[in-house]
Amino acid sequence: MNRNNLVLLVVLLGTLMSAVDTTIVILALPTIVQSLKSNLFTIIWVILLYILVVAVMTTQLGRLGDSFGRSRIYNLGFLVFTIGSAMCGAAPTDIFLIVSRGLQAVGASMMQANGGAIIADNYPPNSRGRAYGYTSIGWNVGAIVGIVLGGIITTFVGWRFIFYINVPIGVAAILLGLRVLQDKERVSRKVDLGGVILLGLSLAMISYGASDIAGEGLTSLNVALTAVGVALLAPFVIVERKVANPTIDFKAFRNRVLASSLMASFLQSMGYLATAFILILYLQGVRGLSPFSASLLLVPGYVLASLTAPWTGRLSDKIGSRIPATSGILLMIVAALIYSKLSVDTPYSLVILATVIGGVGSSLFYPANNSAVMANAARGYYGGVSGVLRTLSNMGTLLSYVITLTVASLAIPRYVAFQVFLGTSSLVGGLTTKFLAGIHVAFIVSIGILAVGAILSAIRGRENRRGLEERVPPAGISK
């Protein structure tokens, strides 16, 4: 393997570990609840805190990569992620596990914020789509491995080993990263502490308020927390427009292609990334499948996405990102439309077909959109722009889960919604009808969000990858 391929392998390993850890935790939640003598509403923060930390930290850690070396921060991310994984596996209590997941998320943020920038450092604009296509393989294969290993390890070995499995992989990745990753150039960037605090408080209040609605129903406290969280976004935007080095540089949005690509990523994440979550609710609660059996129905979509991602990445290198990325979102809308018609006797073949359509859509969207973002970022600012991309994507993912939890818990009694997700209860009688109505609404909301994302993707403008001059920053950004 040449050096560029080894660099790609290191980035792919980071993507793989992150994907495995996302899906593998979902399947282990019922066992974790019982083992740690916790409750459903506390353990859900094993998922939410991870996404929240990644959403808030990625821009700043991408900025640190610009300042101190992307490879250095990326390798440090592997180390922190590995230590966090070991702590998760050894967790004696639910609170210790949640805190350890927060540390694990810091490591994941370091890798996510700088992985795309490292690829941009080592691949020219007209060949990055192929590289991002292979990182999409890492995500999809990781999701498959997480689904399969989650059921096998939790059932036959023990839930703690879903975290311990990251340790040897992490050590090997650190050694490889130290050997092959090299920093190109550095640009000094300051950390936006005020912006991080405002964004963190806003997302934390929205997440806590919405999850409390799911657990306790509507109360004056959780409604107030959610409202304050939303209201804090206004001063966040005001502050970000005035500081020299903002968490989210709104000046970058003056570049039409970059702005449309970033917002398309945010809306795609918010509209689609909780799909697997809703499907597992449906397959367990309505169809009576076990968590492991339900998750296996999602595998074909991931497999096909893995097989097609390199080809779609090359396609975006040749014709630009607009057509592949927009087509990908449209296919996701088709999949969500099929899901919105689910009933108590929907053939499993139709569910698999929808996962395949959505998987192809993902393989079209991610390589093309990520390539468009990095191709229109200024050299020296790859880490910061990559961090913004991951922040917006993770904010969308967090909101996707929050919306799903809220809709599902308002459709049926809240404790039943959580038990259904954890595989400890199935629905009968009138609850089935109410729950189906709830997930239909959730998918209709998803379709609406995805439609806006498709419009933004379509109007991003045409690109000439071969004509891009990396020395010229996008409008509004200066060195």
The listed range with the strongest mean pLDDT (33-42, 133-142, 320-329, 463-472) is 320-329
Q: What angle do CA 89, 91, 95 make, to 5 degrees?
A: 135
Cβ 448 vs Cβ 223: under 8 Å: no
H/E stretch holding 71:
helix 70-89
Query: Which of 382, 367, 415, 380 is closest to 138 using CA atoms?
Result: 367
Predicted pLDDT of residue 454:
94
Using CA atoms, how far residue 47 sits from 16, 102, 253, 464, in Å, is 17, 10, 30, 40
Tokens, residue 461: 């403008």
DSSP symbol at 377? S
Cβ 305 vs Cβ 146: under 8 Å: no
Determine which of 220-229, 336-345, 394-403 has the lowest per-residue pLDDT on average: 394-403
Mean pLDDT, range 90-104, rounded to an integer: 95
Comparison of pLDDT for 144 and 20, the residue scoring more: 20
Tokens, residue 265: 């990523």
* 66-85 pLDDT per residue, tens: 778 888 888 999 999 999 99
Query: Which of 72, 76, 46 is closest to 170 using CA atoms?
Result: 76
Residues whose CB is less than 8 angstroms from the CB of residue 124 and which lie 6 or more positions away in sequence, other chains included: none
Comparison of pLDDT for 475 and 455, the residue scoring more: 455
What residue spans of 340-378 are helical by DSSP H? 348-375
Tokens, residue 3: 């050096």
pLDDT band at 416 (very low <50, low <70, confident <90, very high): low
H/E stretch holding 471:
none
User: How many Cα atoms sit within 13 Å of 74 on the Cβ side?
Assistant: 33
* 429-440 pLDDT per residue, tens: 666 777 788 788
Predicted pLDDT of residue 426:
58
Query: Which of 161, 177, 212, 205 is closest to 73 using CA atoms?
Result: 177
Residues whose CB is less than 8 angstroms from the CB of residue 425 and which lie 6 or more positions away in sequence, other chains included: 285, 416, 419
**d(C-alpha 263, C-alpha 256), whole Å:** 11
Comparison of pLDDT for 94 and 116, the residue scoring more: 94
Comparison of pLDDT for 64 and 148, the residue scoring more: 64
**d(C-alpha 407, C-alpha 81), whole Å:** 32
**d(C-alpha 286, C-alpha 294), whole Å:** 11
Tokens, residue 124: 């020219």
Taking residue 453's Cβ as centre, other Cβ atoms within 10 Å add up to 30
* 31-62 pLDDT per residue, tens: 788 889 887 678 878 888 888 888 788 767 87
pTM: 0.76
The CB-based long-range contact list for 426-432 (8 Å cut-off, 24+ gap) reads 426/284, 426/285, 426/286, 426/288, 427/285, 427/286, 432/285, 432/286, 432/344
